Amino acid sequence: MNHRLYIVTGKGGVGKTSLSLALAKNLSAKGQKVLYNSFDQEEQVDLCSELNIPSIHFDLIESARKYMAGKLGSELIATWVMKTPFFKSLFNMIPGLGHMILLGHIIDLLESDPELTIVLDSPSSGHALTMFESSHNFKEIFGSGLIVSDINKMHRFIYGENTLKTYITSLPTKMALNEANEVKEHLQDLAFKNTHVVVNDCLSPILELGEELPYFLDTKKKLEESVLEEFKDVVNFQMSHSLGETFQEVILDLVNEKVEKLI
């Protein structure tokens, strides 16, 4: 069953963007209404256009301004407030505030269109944790009021049945999988059920059994297999190494052969 919101997170350089774009491409190719969102990081406009992947960009400051305008009932006042040194300092001191507002903007869009699915390419696992934790923290701080009402609305959506699916992307190394497992446990402590660890760029599946390998490849293969065995209770999905020479080829490789199992 497809979900409404897919969040792909993990450390830098593990293939989050490739996986996110492949998920969006797969859903779109099946005729589903879907949008890829790069969530407060560099847009992938040219790549999305080249691969025919529908996308949408939300600017952090613009999302906050719209949220403020809705609460104050005035675009002009909201714009003025956003320009004040106090508000700029607040955003710098409490990064979770901006991420929570941005997530709220995405949820509003999903609730306004029941047929839409969004694939969110989170900048890092730290961003994802901050985004999720901030809603709980602000709810505890404020106790009641407009912000808490908005947080409750957000929670009803993201904790809804078959709504959110989160993928923590990792590489097949012990350090990377330890970090991924810590993130998974933290999200599970926050009661997120559909949280999965995806090990990307696995070399062993593409090497033939019984094939005589150069020493360095044989060593890497055995080390990788040892790590995956050690973390077999943590890892939910494995994605094999792509032989694509370009970013586009890697994404299409994921779409054509591997990403379907993640939907």
Helix (H, G, I), strand (E, B) or coil at 20: helix
pLDDT of residue 183: 92
> What are the structural domains of the chain?
5-262 (3.40.50.300)
pLDDT of residue 91: 66
Read off the tokens for 81.
Answer: 């407030």
Instruction: Tell me which residue has tokens 């993928």.
Output: 167
pLDDT of residue 257: 65
Rounded-to-10 torsion of CA 103, 165, 48, 128: 50
pTM for the whole structure:
0.88
Which residues, 6 or more positions from 27, have their beta carbon under 8 angstroms from its beta carbon? 2, 34, 117, 119, 263
CA–CA gap between residue 249 and residue 228 (Å, rounded): 26
pLDDT of residue 180: 93
Q: Evaluate whether 237 touches 262 at the Cβ level (below 8 Å).
A: yes
pLDDT of residue 263: 78
Helix (H) or strand (E) holding 165: strand 164-170
CA–CA gap between residue 245 and residue 253 (Å, rounded): 11
Read off the tokens for 31.
Answer: 């005729």
pLDDT of residue 210: 57
Work out the angle between the directed axes of helices 60-72 and 75-83 (0-180°, nearest 10).
Answer: 130
pLDDT of residue 60: 74
What single-letter DSSP state applies at residue 258? Answer: I
Residues of the chain below pLDDT 50? none
Q: Evaluate whether 60 touches 102 at the Cβ level (below 8 Å).
A: yes
pLDDT of residue 39: 78
CA–CA gap between residue 20 and residue 22 (Å, rounded): 5
The single-letter code of the amino acid at 137 is N
Read off the tokens for 83.
Answer: 């320009």
pLDDT of residue 235: 94
